[in-house]
A and B are shown apart, each in its own frame.
Chain A
């Protein structure tokens, strides 16, 4: 009797554990890349063609925002194809998002030779652009900002709250 109860109990615990893992995996699975208005592939542009990120994201060295290419930029290469009707408005679904209270500046990070991939992941290999694998929590930023030897030349620890929040 007692042995049977123990068996049932053991099975129950195991089933619960499996169910819990399943729920965890479902909730925390990497986000699927969102549907975009144009099936743009970073794998082709940044990977196969090895275009520099700055070719399209033109403001990344001079501005807080990296800049999204206007459609004229696309048409510059795709001229023969662009004679097809071009949508008046191209509404990309964002995959890279920071909360409003974090003031991130691309230019200063690029100036410090932080590679794009260190935050955005291996975009050059993405057929469909998706969010980076490691979520952009504050701890993610602090990993570099708190390190005594940071990739940021000479800056040392950069744990000034006002560096990002103001």
Chain B
């Protein structure tokens, strides 16, 4: 079976489809598995056929824990949910974590150690003298990994860190302000005002879940006024009340202006009126809310600006109240911010005998000017351990397949420091190796077992009796008492002037891609097909430019442009993005992979223009049209409201149109959903959660371009005439007077006694009348046998409680009816009522801002019933008389 992308893209699509059909045919009725019933020889404890088991563990994102509860069906992990017991996650996850199971079963994962076997590998690594060994990792928070690295360092090896979306600027700023590295945590839930200078607080990242929750908590009380200045539209900018688009090189001036107004340093001249106004308003808001505000400055700015922000927060009295500094959660390597550069210089100088690259792809992600590739080839022994046989693995002498977090015994700390023991739900699927065992082999303990190594780390911490305490922390998924210690630091008051770049040419702004991040998720079809929050593009990265610039240069969306900077050029499809500063171009990292890329994934390699010294902003760039044009696949070609602002706001109560049909009565349950548009940041966690829960197939770029994406839940993004951006998650509305139910000739979509608009796949003959009649166009159709063209390994990923839909069948959001049924059956068996909040839909479960609330409208005390009484409550297209069960709370508009 080919990789998913190949199966569905471009010219090979038909052949792949046929192959898929053939495979489906073979696996049909004559299947041994369905003819036979094979019991266990010896039934294991705790496994009941048909009843999933749950385990607490954590996924990893840039070294940080994303604590989860993992659902396992007969030993197969299928779905992750945020761990409600984790003080950091509180039950929510981000989109990447929701895709973790798909990564576990990814068909492109490397299958075998090469060139030899494990025994050969251990012999080779044991022969390396510790003094000549270098170890390169990403961010490390794992206490066990830190312990092993410390032991290796002690033996003479050196450890380096490379993270493409790294924290170097924050570390440098922390040293400037406090003299040492501390972490900075923003308690957004206590803020009245949040002033953001190019820092995508609410966007994707290892700390997204907590920040979005904190912001949403305050937002529920109409709080923080979010003021954002940034060169390119970010998630944070999209939900800001006050946003200013400014080129990156001017942002330090804004920070200084704010500081000056608050009595720190002098204002430099050269601000425009708009910039002045914004800075004054921001300073005023910070000044009148001492201890209830935050000024936060992002990594793209010089460290001096970030340090100045620390000083401002301290001066205003925010530090200690809304801004808390703690000891760093991630271990700081010996060379600090220059760790990676030091490695590359040593390798280039020929002084490195062996390098072990543990989970990373620096050949692809290293800044272009460091020339990591030619430095690496000078190293005599190069070892790569990773999930994929990627660009770096190709240049290495040894490649060891690395275990996925769901196969791993390790420990990780969430961004707030709380540790989670990562326990495997499944033995390594593709003969992968666990990271602690690899490091143990390097240390000469090739027989060591990862579980033992992790237990050894925690034995002193947990104390005696160890075994029950250990079981308990495994079960809870959180180790108590591990949160980061507050650091008592004082920002130095010395004047911090930021270097200001020249103003010639265009400015390039680099951003991690919102769905494939720094490229690590590029092989994952789910994340490739996940629409980017602001462009709704799939399978591609674009160079975002301002609509004005596009108009001036005559560039249409999809026109290929050549971008030159610092002596290098790349070509990229252009895209005009509202809210982009006029003389800037945003480039997204993560595309243009040479290996394990999915065929069909487009884009370009932005790392080729990235410099080590200024990884986020690069001035003096040129842009010209090439005359070429590529087709881009967006799930939402129209992102403007076209004057239909009423779609997203309450309207005067419309007269109920007459209906020939009697009202339904809902004797027991009346399920409903309310989505708070004020809290949605468009993060996509709900979309991927829905995909994982409901066996939603990936269809490939060409099918998305044709308008055939299958996501049951979409998050619409709209720009209005005022330049504001709006997100609107659109699941099935489960109308009480559903046009689709009226249209179906064969009773395949019918109204349930609990208010669900039911879709019965096995009855559907595919007339598509229901979709034609749906005013919300939430129905999805299997134009091909999409289920059959998923990778073979993804069969293990499927939720056995949800039908895998056939070719020619309509499908749509069911409010996760399988969860409703399970809750009802369990309640019935235990002879208790179904309590509000005892279960929820996959989307609501994942949502970090808890914008989606699901429950029983018949229960007057349910949260969803209460929200229906909110003055902001409205039904979309209420004037049609469809009486949707999914309703909305309108966004609060200020000013």
Measured CB to CB, the residues of A under 8 A from B are: 59, 61-65, 67-73, 86, 88-94, 97, 99-101, 103, 105, 107-108, 111, 160-163, 165-166
CB–CB A107/B37 < 8 A: no
Q: Which residue of A lies closest to B49 (CB)?
A: A65
- Inter-chain CA distance A165–B42, complex, in Å, is 32
Measured CB to CB, the residues of B under 8 A from A are: 34-43, 48-51, 750, 752-754, 756, 758, 760-763, 801-803, 814, 817-818, 821, 825, 828-829
With A63-B51, A101-B803 known to touch, is A94 a contact of B43 (CB < 8 Å)?
no
Give chain B residues whose Cβ lies under 8 Å from the Cβ of A160: 752-754, 758
CB–CB A69/B828 < 8 A: no
- The contact of A70 among B36, B42, B51, B803, by CB within 8 Å, is B42
CB–CB B39/A68 < 8 A: yes
With A70-B41, A88-B41, A165-B762 known to touch, is A107 a contact of B825 (CB < 8 Å)?
yes
With A63-B50, A162-B817, A166-B803 known to touch, is A105 a contact of B825 (CB < 8 Å)?
yes
Q: Which residue of B lies closest to A64 (CB)?
A: B50
- The contact of A162 among B40, B42, B51, B821, by CB within 8 Å, is B821
Give chain B residues whose Cβ lies under 8 Å from the Cβ of A93: 35-37
With A63-B48, A94-B35 known to touch, is A165 a contact of B760 (CB < 8 Å)?
yes
Give chain B residues whose Cβ lies under 8 Å from the Cβ of A67: 48-49
Give chain B residues whose Cβ lies under 8 Å from the Cβ of A92: 36-39
- Inter-chain CA distance A98–B215, complex, in Å, is 49
- The contact of A90 among B38, B760, B814, by CB within 8 Å, is B38
- Inter-chain CA distance A99–B28, complex, in Å, is 12
Q: Which residue of B lies closest to A99 (CB)?
A: B762
Task: List 15 additional contacts besides A61-B829, A100-B803, A163-B821; criterion CB under 8 Å.
Answer: A63-B51, A71-B41, A73-B43, A86-B41, A89-B38, A92-B36, A92-B39, A99-B762, A160-B752, A161-B752, A161-B760, A165-B758, A165-B760, A165-B763, A165-B803
- Inter-chain CA distance A162–B42, complex, in Å, is 35
- Determine how close the nearest CB of chain B comes to the CB of A54; give it in whole angstroms: 13
- Inter-chain CA distance A61–B50, complex, in Å, is 12
Give chain B residues whose Cβ lies under 8 Å from the Cβ of A108: 825, 828-829
Q: List, sorted by A's number, 10 A–B pairs whose CB atoms are closer than 8 Å.
A: A63-B48, A63-B49, A63-B50, A90-B38, A91-B38, A92-B37, A100-B803, A161-B760, A162-B817, A165-B760
CB–CB B35/A59 < 8 A: no
- Inter-chain CA distance A93–B36, complex, in Å, is 5
- Determine how close the nearest CB of chain A comes to the CB of B451; give it in whole angstroms: 27
- Determine how close the nearest CB of chain B comes to the CB of A129; give it in whole angstroms: 11
- Inter-chain CA distance A16–B476, complex, in Å, is 74
Give chain A residues whose Cβ lies under 8 Å from the Cβ of B50: 59, 63-65
CB–CB B48/A166 < 8 A: no
With A103-B801, A161-B758 known to touch, is A166 a contact of B817 (CB < 8 Å)?
yes
- Inter-chain CA distance A165–B758, complex, in Å, is 9
- Determine how close the nearest CB of chain B comes to the CB of A156; give it in whole angstroms: 9
With A67-B48, A70-B41, A161-B760 known to touch, is A91 a contact of B36 (CB < 8 Å)?
yes
- Inter-chain CA distance A158–B760, complex, in Å, is 16
CB–CB B49/A59 < 8 A: yes
Give chain B residues whose Cβ lies under 8 Å from the Cβ of A166: 801-803, 814, 817-818, 821
Q: Which residue of B lies closest to A105 (CB)?
A: B825
Give chain A residues whose Cβ lies under 8 Å from the Cβ of B49: 59, 63-65, 67
Give chain A residues whose Cβ lies under 8 Å from the Cβ of B801: 103, 166
With A94-B36, A107-B825, A108-B829 known to touch, is A72 a contact of B51 (CB < 8 Å)?
no
Give chain B residues whose Cβ lies under 8 Å from the Cβ of A63: 48-51
Q: Which residue of A lies closest to B826 (CB)?
A: A107
CB–CB B760/A69 < 8 A: no
Of the candidates A64, A68, A69, A72, the one having the most CB atoms from chain B within 10 angstroms of its own CB is: A64
Give chain A residues whose Cβ lies under 8 Å from the Cβ of B40: 70-71
- Determine how close the nearest CB of chain B comes to the CB of A70; give it in whole angstroms: 4
Give chain B residues whose Cβ lies under 8 Å from the Cβ of A86: 41
Interface of A is mostly: loop
Give chain B residues whose Cβ lies under 8 Å from the Cβ of A65: 49-50
Of the candidates A63, A100, A107, A161, the one having the most CB atoms from chain B within 10 angstroms of its own CB is: A161
- The contact of A64 among B42, B51, B817, by CB within 8 Å, is B51
Give chain B residues whose Cβ lies under 8 Å from the Cβ of A97: 34
Give chain A residues whose Cβ lies under 8 Å from the Cβ of B37: 68, 91-94
Give chain A residues whose Cβ lies under 8 Å from the Cβ of B829: 61-62, 107-108, 111
CB–CB B35/A111 < 8 A: no
CB–CB B752/A71 < 8 A: no
- Inter-chain CA distance A116–B893, complex, in Å, is 60
Of the candidates B38, B821, B829, the one having the most CB atoms from chain A within 10 angstroms of its own CB is: B821
Closest 5 CB pairs of A and B: A68-B39, A101-B762, A64-B50, A70-B43, A70-B40
- Inter-chain CA distance A100–B825, complex, in Å, is 20
Give chain A residues whose Cβ lies under 8 Å from the Cβ of B754: 160
- Inter-chain CA distance A161–B746, complex, in Å, is 13
Q: Which residue of B lies closest to A95 (CB)?
A: B37
- Determine how close the nearest CB of chain A comes to the CB of B662; give it in whole angstroms: 17
With A59-B48, A67-B48, A107-B825 known to touch, is A162 a contact of B36 (CB < 8 Å)?
no
Of the candidates B48, B750, B761, the one having the most CB atoms from chain A within 10 angstroms of its own CB is: B48
Of the candidates B41, B756, B761, B825, the one having the most CB atoms from chain A within 10 angstroms of its own CB is: B41
Q: Which residue of A lies closest to B830 (CB)?
A: A111
- Inter-chain CA distance A162–B812, complex, in Å, is 13
Q: Which residue of A lies closest to B36 (CB)?
A: A91
- Determine how close the nearest CB of chain B comes to the CB of A132; give it in whole angstroms: 16
- Inter-chain CA distance A24–B855, complex, in Å, is 52
Give chain A residues whose Cβ lies under 8 Å from the Cβ of B35: 93-94
- Inter-chain CA distance A86–B42, complex, in Å, is 12
- Inter-chain CA distance A71–B41, complex, in Å, is 5
CB–CB A72/B48 < 8 A: no
- Inter-chain CA distance A61–B829, complex, in Å, is 9
Give chain A residues whose Cβ lies under 8 Å from the Cβ of B818: 103, 166
- Determine how close the nearest CB of chain B comes to the CB of A141; give it in whole angstroms: 13
Give chain A residues whose Cβ lies under 8 Å from the Cβ of B821: 103, 105, 162-163, 166
- Inter-chain CA distance A165–B764, complex, in Å, is 12
- Inter-chain CA distance A97–B828, complex, in Å, is 25
Q: Which residue of B lies closest to A96 (CB)?
A: B37
Of the candidates B753, B756, B761, the one having the most CB atoms from chain A within 10 angstroms of its own CB is: B753
CB–CB A62/B39 < 8 A: no
Give chain B residues whose Cβ lies under 8 Å from the Cβ of A165: 758, 760-763, 803
Give chain A residues whose Cβ lies under 8 Å from the Cβ of B34: 94, 97
- Determine how close the nearest CB of chain A comes to the CB of B641; give it in whole angstroms: 35
- Inter-chain CA distance A165–B51, complex, in Å, is 18
Q: Which residue of B lies closest to A62 (CB)?
A: B48
- Inter-chain CA distance A97–B34, complex, in Å, is 9
- Determine how close the nearest CB of chain B comes to the CB of A97; give it in whole angstroms: 8
- Inter-chain CA distance A65–B758, complex, in Å, is 24
Of the candidates B37, B38, B761, the one having the most CB atoms from chain A within 10 angstroms of its own CB is: B37
Give chain A residues whose Cβ lies under 8 Å from the Cβ of B48: 59, 62-63, 67
CB–CB A72/B760 < 8 A: no
Give chain A residues whose Cβ lies under 8 Å from the Cβ of B51: 59, 62-64
- Inter-chain CA distance A38–B49, complex, in Å, is 23
- Determine how close the nearest CB of chain A comes to the CB of B618; give it in whole angstroms: 52
Give chain B residues whose Cβ lies under 8 Å from the Cβ of A71: 39-42
- Inter-chain CA distance A140–B48, complex, in Å, is 28
- Inter-chain CA distance A64–B74, complex, in Å, is 13
- Inter-chain CA distance A71–B43, complex, in Å, is 8
- The contact of B752 among A73, A99, A100, A162, by CB within 8 Å, is A162
- Inter-chain CA distance A94–B814, complex, in Å, is 31
- Inter-chain CA distance A163–B754, complex, in Å, is 11
- Inter-chain CA distance A15–B729, complex, in Å, is 68
Q: Which residue of B lies closest to A110 (CB)?
A: B829
Give chain A residues whose Cβ lies under 8 Å from the Cβ of B802: 166
Q: Which residue of A lies closest to B815 (CB)?
A: A162
Q: Which residue of B lies closest to A156 (CB)?
A: B667
Of the candidates A69, A71, A103, the one having the most CB atoms from chain B within 10 angstroms of its own CB is: A103
Give chain B residues whose Cβ lies under 8 Å from the Cβ of A161: 750, 752, 758, 760, 763
- Determine how close the nearest CB of chain B comes to the CB of A107; give it in whole angstroms: 6
